[in-house]
Structure 1
């Protein structure tokens, strides 16, 4: 069967649109249009990672997650815009154009999966694939008022994902509602022999609104310095609603969270400095014409085709891994990461779930923070801990502040996406 995609892209959600596509009949996603983030390989469809260095690259194979949604009958209607190589919180770092927030086109949609979130929020597609290294699914889900799930590390195959930080990044589902997120998660979580980090733990689950008796921990650090008071009040109201529905709310502390942001940025930039070395004008991307020395051509090629934020992170990571600094930065970051993981395991040994805000604020204006990288990094403070710990986390809309959406983040135990989804579903059903 063939499907004709005629939606207009008023928010610059897509880098590539596939207007006329074939799909397989009979699957659970048969005929449903699905958007795919542009760092997930799609056979025969350009995959640029939002970067000029991969301009024109067309993968010869599908990522495992893409193959699974095709097998289920989905129609891939295009590749969504993103911060270059996933490095950003606003989708302003795309080498092509910024994406706007459908709730207010003067605001950012979040990042780095901002194109996927904007495509869903503007009703171009009902669901999409994103990837999450430090909040890249949950941030745009919160900013655009949709649902986004970061799975447990290893529950969804990363084969075909052009990751910039291998130990942190996960492909995950995004949709208008929890039911569709759960449906898409079921499709993409099937086993894969091509990813040695993937577990054979398929997700097969129908969301349930039963939350009575569940213990939900609320860390004080999720409502600390930097979290907007109105956002905090909105999320506290959502947590109170869960309590009214029968959940037991437990106050707790995750003291290692104060190291999370530093540990995250040392880890991800270090891995980026290694991963992105393959983009050299020889193996991938437009070819370099060697008219001068290899060193000069290579330097200028990467300088011209990598964006400013990508270059910044490569340099930071190279420094952190350099002789004399490895032990001072990278090794210490791994110790902090281990402490964060242990703290989450401790809390989740006493409680079923953890709840708090997804983001410390609502979506801000385009250009408002782009000149201040440090301030931009601070926006990730509430999302990166789940990636460092490797646990599943979902963002579900829980109200608005100043007309802009707020996300409730629910975090669970390793490989317990089912409880995370159920809690989000219960809340969604109660308030909608």
Structure 2
């Protein structure tokens, strides 16, 4: 087979089972693709020796008839996941040289199901960003380019390395994390499929924390089916994570291709924001038409507290980040910059180790948690969060099966094009995604079309808690109608 990297996870599974190629051959193909695409800066660390060792073990299991669900499938792992003996630094200088002596639950689940690790993927530092430009290791470049232009585009963030690697065929699938849209937004910018599961569906143990009540792991893949296959392996209950929910993990793949006839799909009027590009509005209308043609009923719904989601999120998330990042002090691990005393050492290490965006959010978080401001900001934001969650509960209690919205307010933008603008302009990229995290709901971004410049656009589907199967059913309808999109190779 000439181009093994062009296969989906489902096709890889079938090809390995029928002996069309070996896991070792497949891994060599991906390692060659990674070497040829280093200009995209998707990988921080490549692990070829480990990958080939894991692939050889997969070949042995396949030969003995003991293949597991992801046997021999090469994956990229976001640098936020701790991987035993392998670089895990959240793309930050403050964790310089850190190699965990333990494995995150999610990656342990993937290895237990036979997956092969190709390396650690670039990301926004500590997952704080919407463009993958805050990484200590430099920005990731989107494999997509606007028609008639050679200008580099951002892949979105914070899981930008994951999205670029999947879109550019540098891995068959990748892990990501989503705190306010960090799986769904980069998936939308790169024409990949990204799902943020319900909060508690995947264990957070061994994932470097940003905002503990919002963070959730999920997959990025090329198709809805591939994302369903990956999520089944990633999800589990975990006694080491008290927020992990003890519910059976369904066979998500069985939901793919299921009928949507008779389903009620809600369309929230609050997502029609001022200044929305006409092509995003048109795509949303097209999505409604596709679902209606498939037999679903489209109904207008109201989520009245949506307008408060973004400001509330940018209080809650920095507050939790301030608390979580206090542990990085240069004492036990990571970067240490000496000082005249221990306080100076703390200050010097953090000043040198944290990037500009991380410092900004830590300062905001520390401020809103401080005496005299806690009630005015953090407590009030949590009350708003409860109202946002109740909005969704009311809609679902009224019989809505899923909610359809745009995934992002625009297509990808140029590298460095917003770095000199107000941070608020960058934060607005999360306007359609943060409500899902604030309410703890599952959400999926599915490629749905291209803008006038030939850049990808996506639609988002939001589901009931722990009803990811509904998202895979409805997402497949959009994928079938829209078709598949891949960037023209230039790297």
Q: How does the TM-score come out when normalised to structure 2?
A: 0.86
Equivalent residue, structure 2, for 1:121: 167
Which of residues 48, 58, 62 is equivalent to 1:19? Answer: 48
* Bigger Rg, structure 1 or 2: 2
> Hey, what's the Cα distance between the residues in 1 that align with 2:45 and 2:32?
13
Bigger shift: residues 186-195 or 124-133 = 186-195
Between the aligned partners of 1:339 and 1:188, the Cα distance in structure 2 is 30
Judge which range, 408-417 or 2-11, deviates more.
Answer: 2-11
**Map 1:7-406 → 2, pairs under 5 A:** 7=33, 8-9=36-37, 10-20=39-49, 21=51, 22-23=53-54, 24-25=57-58, 26-104=67-145, 106-201=152-247, 202-205=249-252, 206=254, 207-289=256-338, 291-350=339-398, 351-371=400-420, 372-401=422-451, 402-406=453-457
When you count helix as a share of all residues, which structure comes out higher?
2
Point out where structure 2 has 5 or more consecutive residues left out of the alignment: 1-22, 59-66, 146-150, 484-491
Give the SS at the match of 2:308: helix
Q: Name the CA distance, whole Å, in 2 between partners of 1:191 and 1:217.
A: 30
**Contact 1:209–1:429 at 8 Å: present in 2 too?**
no
How far apart are the structure 2 equivalents of 1:115 and 1:392? 22
Partner of 1:6: 32
Q: CA contact under 8 A between 1:156 and 1:198: conserved in structure 2?
A: yes
8 A contact 1:48–1:57 mirrored in 2: yes
Report the Cα distance in structure 2 between the residues aligned to 1:75 and 1:124, rounded to whole angstroms. Answer: 13
Shift of 1:347: 1.2
- Which is worse superposed, 273-282 or 197-206? 197-206
Q: Is the 8 A contact 1:282 1:288 kept in 2?
A: no
Q: Write the deviation string for residues 173-220 of structure 1: whole angstroms up to 9, x where unpaired.
A: 110000110000000112222111101222322213311111000001
Number of matched pairs: 431
Runs of 4+ in structure 1 deviating by more than 3 angstroms, as ranges, are 1-4
Q: Tell me which residue corresponds to 2:463.
A: 412
Q: Secondary structure in 1 aligned to 2:134? A: coil
Please give the alpha-carbon distance, in whole angstroms, between the structure 2 residues aligned to 1:295 and 1:326.
Answer: 26
1:421 is aligned to 2:421: no
Query: What is the Cα deviation at residue 283 of structure 1?
Result: 2.4
Query: What is the distance in 2 between the residues matched to 1:87 and 1:265?
Result: 11
SS at match of 2:459: strand
Structure 1: gaps spanning 5 or more residues: none
> CA separation in 2, counterparts of 1:162 and 1:185?
19
Post-superposition offset of 1:288 = 4.1
Counterparts of 2:96 and 2:71 in 1: how far apart (Å)?
31
Counterpart-to-counterpart distance in 2, 1:152 and 1:320: 27
Paired with 2:389 and 2:236, the residues of 1 have a C-alpha distance of 26
SS of structure 2 residue aligned to 1:141: helix
Q: How many angstroms does 1:96 deviate by?
A: 1.0
Residues 336 and 345 in structure 2, CA contact (< 8 A), matched pair in contact too:
no
Between the aligned partners of 1:417 and 1:194, the Cα distance in structure 2 is: 23
User: 1:137–1:172: 8 Å Cα contact kept in structure 2?
Assistant: yes
* Distance across 1 between alignment mates of 2:131 and 2:434: 15
TM-score (norm 1): 0.97
Q: Distance in 1 between matches of 2:134 and 2:250?
A: 33
